[in-house]
Amino acid sequence: KAAAVHADAEDAERDVAAAAEALAEADAGDDHELAAVEAADHHELLWYATQEIPNLVRQS
């Protein structure tokens, strides 16, 4: 049962996508790729309560 939903804001999309691509290399110690992962970490997640989920899904 879901208690809440967390989502990335639109302005985080590029950084989060780059971090996903860079994760394996960052874990292997690549400092350049680690910087990409850390850039995504600076974005706040949006929080939605369960009663907001239907509207959130319709907006996507």
6 secondary structure, DSSP code? E
* pLDDT tens per residue, range 2-59: 788 888 999 999 999 999 999 999 999 999 999 999 999 999 999 999 999 888 888 7
| Per-domain residue ranges of the chain | 4-59
**Separation of alpha carbons 15 and 42, rounded Å:** 9
pLDDT at 14: 94
Q: What is the pTM of this model?
A: 0.70
Rg (CA), the chain: 14
Phi then psi for residue 30, to 5 deg, are -75, 110
pLDDT at 60: 63
